[in-house]
Structure 1
């Protein structure tokens, strides 16, 4: 092989190594982004569950108040 062919081969190898290095860096960055998104998704899921629980508690409280009001209105009807 001639020296020129070896230089071309070396340049191609170096380009391949550089590309692989850049792709590895990109993969690491994407892994970090994925981790951050998973964390955010878990936080949102927890927040949603807390809100659903709060809504359920408020609905139960509303039902209890409605029953109390109905009972008081029933007593008022009995007085008249």
Structure 2
């Protein structure tokens, strides 16, 4: 009987070892995914910052054009 108990214990230990190995592989995969997602997040942040800067430049340029147009319209009013 004790031999059967030992065999059952050995089977359970082997199952536990296999499960641990699979979990370790899963942990490694999750770490890789985490690194990839962190890299993508940094890239997206960088792209967002670039877009915000371009947007601000365009707003500034738009404001400058509006001022120039107002100035020209003011001169036209003076001529009339």
TM-score bucket (shorter structure): over 0.9
Check if 1:74 corresponds to 2:74: yes
| TM-score of the superposed pair, with normalisation by structure 2 | 0.97
Aligned to 2:25: 25
User: Pairwise CA RMSD of aligned residues?
Assistant: 0.9
Counterparts of 1:75 and 1:35, CA distance in 2: 60
Counterparts of 1:30 and 1:45, CA distance in 2: 22
User: Structure 2: any 5+ residue segments left out of the alignment?
Assistant: none
- Give runs of aligned pairs for residues 6-25 of structure 1, distance below 5 A: 6-25=6-25
Counterparts of 2:2 and 2:30, CA distance in 1: 42
The alignment of Structure 1 onto Structure 2 pairs a total of residues equal to 80
> How far did 1:20 drift?
0.4
> How far did 1:76 drift?
0.6
| Regions of 4+ moved over 6 Å | none
| TM-score of the superposed pair, with normalisation by structure 1 | 0.97
